Amino acid sequence: MIRPNLTIEAIPAGEPFIGPERIMRERGLQTMLRLGANESAFGPSPRAVAAMAAELPRLSWYGDPDSYALRNALAERWNTGRDDVLVTSGIDELLGLVVRCFLAPGEAVVASAGTYPTFAYHAIGYGGRVESVAYREDGRIDLDELAAAAQRCNAAICYLANPDNPSGSFADADAILRFRSALPARTLLLLDEAYAEFADPQALVEPRPLPGVVRARTFSKLYGMAGARIGYGLAPQALLAPMLKVRLQYGVNRNAQIGALAALTDDAFAHDVLDRTARGRAEYAALGAELGLPTLDSSSNFVCFDCSSRDRADALLEALLQRGVWTRKPGIAPLDRCVRVTVGDEGDRARFAAELRAICMRVTT
């Protein structure tokens, strides 16, 4: 009888991520307001679109497996060497590569319980043990407990999203560097910075390769290119070299490389998205205050509305969906009392506010 290997066979069948397209199909919805995946409401840079459109006829060519031009541009931006940059098909691919290269079957990794799930997904897929640490009651990551857990199980990898998803919380450079030195010497810190651009640049760990740390960045969020699938790792060359041995050599879409390179030149676009996102966050905070759904501080392009109990949060998620508004919510306490809403553009936010007000009125009367 033909069977998968024991690691794969031991994983329960399940649905790691249900996409919005499936929800629309199952509910028979023709349109849906997509505020559930932290996709940018502001689209890609027009420069990226133009560059990609111009190159589309050459789709018959493979992309450059070295991503040479893009790595050069990123190295220049971060004032480091080209070999300290690895371009991947989004952060999601990079997380899998780090796990594949730095975790042996049976070893432990640590992460916050209920943080961005793709790291644990890969760790389980490669036969690791995931030790998780609860969020603090205020919704922030418990860095002391995370480091203690890494010490206890001598973790191969510690995953930390900063700014975090789903909480939106942010730890400044001092806290991150202190955290790094509290980890065991053998532990690789996988620092997922998908939302780094949305945080206060003064408070961010200086963007350069750090010893023992793989920093993950993406074009999916600020640059609005989630569908193109492109991101990169920033790390000392010695940490990236093992990944070059096993990565999918032609896994990064040619057009995505071209778009990402063009996007990097468009600082005015990036600033505009940051401004509009900050305005959206402030608007959500005011809306939450008005409706008795206080929001958690966020350094990202989404905001958590605190519904004070899991049941109320579940009910709000469902009520929004019935009105054609797709959001998501954390599944694990204490954050499971929240509904996470992506910052939409001005029109999206007006629609969201109207639906949320209507739901809250109905509940209270």
Ligand X SMILES: *Cc1c(COP(=O)(O)O)cnc(C)c1O
Binding site for ligand X (CB under 6 A): 38, 90-92, 116, 161, 165, 192, 194, 218, 220, 226, 231
Neighbours of 218 (CB within 10 A): 25
Q: In the complex with ligand X, which residue's Cβ is closer, 67 or 218?
A: 218
Query: CA of 126: how far to CAs of 27, 41, 280, in Å?
Result: 35, 34, 39
- Shortest Å distance, C-beta 167 to ligand X: 11
Rounded Cα distance between 299 and 48, Å, is: 25
Contact 199, 177 (CB under 8 A): no
**Upstream peptide bond of 4 is cis (omega within 30 degrees of 0):** no
Q: In the complex with ligand X, which residue's Cβ is closer, 150 or 194?
A: 194
Residue with tokens 């600033």: 271
Encode burial over 250-260: b for 16+ CB neighbours within 10 A, e otherwise: eebbbbbbbbb
Q: In the complex with ligand X, which residue's Cβ is closer, 78 or 359?
A: 78
Radius of gyration of the chain (CA): 21
Sign of the dihedral defined by the CA atoms of residues 93, 94, 100, 101, in that order: positive
- Shortest Å distance, C-beta 231 to ligand X: 4
DSSP element (H, E) containing 55: helix 46-55
Q: In the complex with ligand X, which residue's Cβ is closer, 169 or 187?
A: 169
218 three-state secondary structure:
strand
Q: In the complex with ligand X, which residue's Cβ is closer, 84 or 92?
A: 92
Q: Which residues have C-beta within 8 Å of that of residue 181, sequence separation ≥ 6?
A: none
Rounded Cα distance between 115 and 164, Å, is: 7
Contact 175, 201 (CB under 8 A): no
Q: In the complex with ligand X, which residue's Cβ is closer, 233 or 359?
A: 233
Q: In the complex with ligand X, which residue's Cβ is closer, 117 or 212?
A: 117
Contact 229, 255 (CB under 8 A): no
- Shortest Å distance, C-beta 120 to ligand X: 12
Q: In the complex with ligand X, which residue's Cβ is closer, 231 or 288?
A: 231
What are 131's strand-pairing partners?
110
- Shortest Å distance, C-beta 1 to ligand X: 36
- Shortest Å distance, C-beta 43 to ligand X: 15
